[in-house]
Chains A and B, each alone.
Chain A
Amino acid sequence: EDQVTQSPEALRLQEGESSSLNCSYTVSGLRGLFWYRQDPGKGPEFLFTLYSAGEEKEKERLKATLTKKESFLHITAPKPEDSATYLCAVQLNTGFQKLVFGTGTRLLVSP
């Protein structure tokens, strides 16, 4: 069964305290891996797409990396405005746009 697991479920950081979120996956065939950010009461907002092991993408304080079994979202010197739920989704190569989502990591950054 295709599965995406995110850890930790929740993470509290102090402003400036760097950390990483994990997304591990067990799927029949990976077409791409997506990271989304979701603020309370809003829809997910696209951050990154990764397609192959070793690939890295960066945006401001965020960097996403991909291996054959997992992806990491590194947050460097976070600010309170980085507080959100971060969702990982895997696109399978068995069907167009069939994404399997993880349950997300709730990040709270305190000033």
Chain B
Amino acid sequence: NAGVTQTPKFQVLKTGQSMTLQCAQDMNHEYMSWYRQDPGMGLRLIHYSVGAGITDQGEVPNGYNVSRSTTEDFPLRLLSAAPSQTSVYFCASSGISGANVLTFGAGSRLTVL
């Protein structure tokens, strides 16, 4: 049981480049989300989805795009990378009933030069 799988684990980009962080879960969770973690700050919600075809903005959505075409996958797209997007990104998923406990991926460390 893999849980939540994120790729790549590390990425270096130049300012203005675009890229996609991949997230896949095999737990049949309806809810998926993306967080960023920066030193001295708590995890902050970027975007989330409560099911295929449904996405919504979190606390810090600017500069990021998401889509949810399947239950399993929730990619995060950086349209034009900026140094302020240097961070560690975590994908997390949960069911939408019961305890709603988030299961996190291992993270993707992104550096924008």
Contact = CB atoms under 8 A, between A and B. Distances in A.
Given A91-B100, A103-B41, A104-B42, A97 B48 contact: yes
A46 B101 contact: yes
Contact of B100 (A42, A45, A97): A97
Contact of A42 (B43, B94, B106): B106
Contact of A44 (B33, B45, B90, B100): B90
A97 B48 CA distance: 9
Main SS at interface, chain A: strand
Kindly state the interface size class of chain A when it binds its partner.
Answer: 20 to 34
Interface of B: 4, 31, 33, 40-45, 48, 50, 58, 90, 92, 94, 96, 99-107
Interface of A: 4, 32, 34, 36, 41-46, 49, 87, 89, 91, 96-104
25 contacts: A43-B90, A43-B104, A44-B43, A44-B102, A44-B104, A45-B104, A46-B102, A49-B99, A89-B42, A96-B50, A96-B100, A97-B31, A97-B33, A97-B94, A97-B96, A97-B100, A98-B45, A98-B58, A99-B45, A100-B42, A101-B42, A102-B42, A103-B40, A103-B41, A104-B42
